[in-house]
Chains A and B, each alone.
Chain A
């Protein structure tokens, strides 16, 4: 018994991107898994994709039992994901068992019955195409077709055990009424309770957030908690596994330039090659400028740079860079720069993340800049945003890319941004840009707040911007309260004047 129990159930790779990470390898092989979710939680997409990935990736054939939509509807609805079910049917790789209700056909009930027809047809279809995968969608619909719930429960149990004998891995979908409540309607979980997956489509702060949770896999390990996923055209469900992110990234001591020799000096010789740098400051303090330097520093060394811009258009960015003496156009022509501009509101957070990952994979950059993360934060919930940042940083760290993110602080002087609060522990270095009010004049200050694994300059230095870009100068002396987020601090010029009086005496 104990030796048996210690051996966990083998898994069947589903082929659904990201899903293997969450499930520690896939669905329990030869078992039936209940997939429960509210209306619109992508149950049918999952059920179809489970078969589609099996056919297209592993040449494993599948049977789709439909209780709700007609096979024709499913064939049509799924073409948008690039799944050509009709061809698979013709090739004998896919079979439907059509148990959808027929319009205008009521049957009279006389006496007791069982669901033997369903079982016989499923067995037959599995044999016909040599299926090792099966999806049933969705169980709630069959409970409304037949009044005898007991007969349905009995047949579902028998189906599950028959499929087990035949070595078929199956997914049964079921409806839930609430996102957080009973597992499924009709008490379905009570008889197919070995493995339960829950799909959610929750409304959080007016934003839809799709997640998948492995509630239980009897006798098999899996990741716990909810994982965000999204639905991509031509691809289907893509899960975003946060826990797959292990802290096993190599960290190197190789330094690369920040694009400004003065900044390199402040950082003790430049940024680390595979680090994440957060640049935080109020609007207009020079974040985009710092980003531009960072990119120029890369392209000067023949490194490919990828810039994700969520605030400014391409034209604006190029014009600004030109104003500081940097020619983005030329860098682009040399194949060293790629600028991706997108409105944050254009897509959901998960989609942004996938698009960014795709762009990174395609362009294979050495450096990435995101200007700004705060713009992304605007469209998300706190939880969703944190997942996004973790998903992005872990992805680029695995690829040993240096990343520079900007964050906008809500107040002009001092203060921290929410972005900062959520991601500061994830980042390796933090650079603060601040306005400093002195003698009725706004000047700019810069400091390296944190730099993991390196000594760095602790001063708050003044910097100026001209048509050559940014120039970092001397530290501010006799000024206090620059970094403090409380605008009612002692006026800096007051301190300066007082200390100035003393030193000149």
Chain B
């Protein structure tokens, strides 16, 4: 399994920021078996980084590695969506789960 580089952009220590950090940690522990690195960036302290990455919504999670780069916005409370966004779930699995496995 390749190493994951995950950058989480937040604005200050708000409840939403804290929720996003906790949700991210939990998902990683459960699915990535230690093969990951999380970098948390507070854009109030480092606005230039937000400018470079063109962050609009916070929290924003960017999966930089492995490629392709993916973005997930929100507090990461919907685990299914996060897994889909991290390419840990395929489209068909995703659709099946969301249509209640109709096929």
Residues of A within 8 A of B (CB): 97-99, 102, 105-121, 123-125, 142, 145-146, 151
Please state if B72 and A107 are interface contacts (CB–CB under 8 Å): yes
Docked-complex contact B50 and A115, CB < 8 angstroms: no
Q: Residue B73 at the A interface, CB < 8 A?
A: yes
B44 interface hit (Cβ, 8 Å):
yes
Least CB distance from B86 to A in Å reads 9
Q: Is the CB of B81 within 8 A of A110?
A: yes
**Contact among A105, A112, A114, A145 for B77, CB-based, below 8 A:** A112
Instruction: Please tell me if B70 contacts chain A, counting CB pairs below 8 Å.
Output: yes
B54 contact set on A, CB distance < 8 A: 98-99, 102
Report the number of A-B residue pairs with Cβ-Cβ less than 8 Å. Answer: 107
Min distance, Cβ A328 to any Cβ of chain B, angstroms: 63
Contact partners of B48 in chain A: CB under 8 A: 124
Q: A108-B81, A108-B85, A111-B78 are in contact. Are A116 and B58 (CB under 8 A)?
A: yes
Question: Is B65 at the interface (CB under 8 A from chain A)?
Answer: no
Interface of A is mostly: mixed
Q: Are A151 and B57 in contact (CB under 8 A)?
A: yes
Interface size of B as a range = 35 or more
A115 in complex: contacting residue of B9, B23, B56, B79, CB < 8 Å: B56
Rounded to whole angstroms, the CA-CA distance of A106 and B72 in the bound complex is: 9
Interface string of B21-56 (1 = CB under 8 A from A): 001000000000000000000011001101100111
Complex CA–CA separation, A120 to B56 (angstroms): 9
Nearest B residue to A99 via CB reads B56
**B76 close to A111 (CB less than 8 A):** yes
Query: Is A114 touching B9 in the complex (CB atoms < 8 A)?
Result: no
A-B contact pairs, 20 of them (CB 8 A): A97-B51, A98-B54, A102-B54, A107-B70, A107-B72, A108-B70, A108-B72, A109-B73, A110-B77, A111-B75, A111-B77, A111-B81, A113-B60, A113-B73, A114-B57, A116-B58, A117-B58, A118-B57, A121-B55, A124-B50
Q: Is B7 an interface residue (CB 8 A)?
A: no
Partner of B58, one of A99, A107, A113, A125: A113
Distance in angstroms between the alpha carbons of A124 and B53 in the assembled complex? 14
A106 to B54, CA, bound (A): 13
Structural contact, B16 and A113, CB atoms closer than 8 A:
yes
Bound Cα distance from A118 to B11, whole angstroms: 10
Cα distance, A97 to B43, chains bound together (Å): 15
Q: What's the least CB distance linking A148 to chain B, in Å?
A: 8
Known: A110-B75, A110-B79, A116-B43. 9 other contacts (CB 8 A): A98-B54, A99-B54, A108-B71, A109-B78, A110-B78, A110-B81, A110-B85, A113-B58, A113-B60
> Once bound together, how far apart are the Cα atoms of A110 and B10, in whole Å?
14
Nearest chain A CB to B30 CB, angstrom units: 15
Contacts of B60 in A (CB 8 A): 107, 113, 117
Shortest beta-carbon distance from A198 to chain B in Å: 27
B84 close to A114 (CB less than 8 A): no
B60 CB to closest chain A CB, in angstroms? 7
A248 CA / B44 CA spacing, docked (Å): 56
- Contact status A109-B81, CB under 8 Å: yes
Contacts of B77 in A (CB 8 A): 110-112
**Min CB gap A318→B, angstroms:** 63
Q: Provide the bound-state CA to CA distance between A208 and B48, in Å.
A: 44
Q: Is B82 an interface residue (CB 8 A)?
A: yes
Find out whether the CB atom of B55 lies under 8 angstroms from the CB atom of A117: yes
**Cα A121 to Cα B60 with chains together (Å):** 14
A454 shortest CB reach to chain B, Å? 69
**In the complex where A115-B57, A117-B56 touch, is A108 in contact with B73 (Cβ < 8 A)?**
yes
Task: Answer whether A117 and B82 are a contact pair too, CB < 8 Å, given A99-B56, A102-B54, A107-B73.
Answer: no
A117 touches B57 (CB 8 A): yes
Q: Say whether A118 contacts B72, CB under 8 Å.
A: no
Kindly provide the distance from the CB of A124 to the nearest chain B CB, expressed in whole angstroms: 4
Query: Does B9 lie within 8 Å of A112, measured CB to CB?
Result: no
A114 touches B70 (CB 8 A): no
Contacts of A97 in B (CB 8 A): 51
Find chain A residues with CB under 8 A from B47 CB: 120-121, 123-124
A121 in contact with B72 (CB, 8 Å): no
* Residues B50 and A117 in contact, CB atoms below 8 Å apart: yes
The 10 closest A-B pairs by CB, nearest first: A116-B11, A124-B47, A108-B85, A111-B77, A117-B55, A111-B74, A107-B71, A110-B81, A111-B75, A116-B58
CB distance from A114 to the nearest CB of B (A): 6
Please, which residues of chain A bring their CB within 8 A of the CB of B81?
108-111
Distance of B85 from chain A, by nearest CB (Å): 4
Task: Tell whether, in the assembled complex, residue B82 and residue A110 are in contact, meaning their CB atoms are under 8 Å apart.
Answer: yes
A443 CA / B21 CA spacing, docked (Å): 97
